[in-house]
């Protein structure tokens, strides 16, 4: 099977960026139209701060990746300090998909992976087509566990 790469969806990131940009333009327009003579120039620092939120979200999105290669699933996150968790697919016992109402509307969900011998779950938030990915992961894990028994 070819490698599978999973990233959190960019749908919410795009929507948040659009909302932040609208607020940015509205604050700039309010300053230029109504507050120019009354307010201090320090108020001009507020609109760019609104754009920090989508920038941080984009960076977090860009630095989170799940890669399934061969018989392993690798979850990587981080920039300066990186965290990597590697799971053998043959030990994958449970794959759960959770979708809140807003996630169902946009066709995304959270994947929860549980392996044998571990008490913690690995949760991958806001993944596009989560049920398809869950089915693919289970198929891959069953294929590798059958190969191990032979």
CATH architecture under which domain 4-149 falls: Roll (2.30)
Contacts 24+ apart (CB under 8 A), 55-59: 57/12, 57/13, 57/16, 58/13, 58/17
pTM for the model stands at 0.74
- For the chain, the structural domain boundaries read 4-149
Dump pLDDT digits (tens) for 108-133.
999 999 988 766 788 999 999 999 99
78-102 pLDDT per residue, tens: 888 899 999 899 888 889 999 999 9
* pLDDT, tens digit, 9 for 90 and up, residues 14-63: 988 899 889 888 887 877 787 667 666 666 677 778 888 888 888 888 88
The pLDDT score that the predictor gives to residue 43 is 65
Could you tell me which residues come within 8 angstroms of residue 111 by beta carbon, excluding any fewer than 6 positions away? 6, 95, 96, 97, 123, 124, 127, 130, 133, 134, 137
């Amino acid at each position: 099977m070819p490698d599978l790469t999973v990233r959190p969806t960019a749908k919410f990131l795009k929507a948040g960026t659009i909302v932040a940009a609208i607020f940015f333009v509205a604050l700039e327009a309010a300053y230029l139209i109504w507050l120019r003579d009354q307010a201090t120039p320090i108020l001009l620092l507020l609109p760019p701060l609104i754009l920090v939120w989508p920038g941080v979200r984009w960076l977090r999105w860009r630095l989170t990746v799940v890669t399934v290669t061969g018989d392993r699933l690798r979850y990587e996150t981080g920039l300066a300090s990186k965290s990597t968790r590697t799971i053998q697919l043959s030990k994958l016992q449970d794959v759960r998909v959770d979708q809140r109402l807003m996630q169902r509307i946009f066709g995304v969900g959270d994947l929860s992976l549980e392996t044998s011998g571990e008490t913690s779950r690995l949760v991958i938030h806001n993944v596009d087509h989560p049920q398809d990915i869950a089915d693919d992961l289970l198929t891959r894990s069953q294929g590798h566990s059958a190969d191990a028994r032979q």
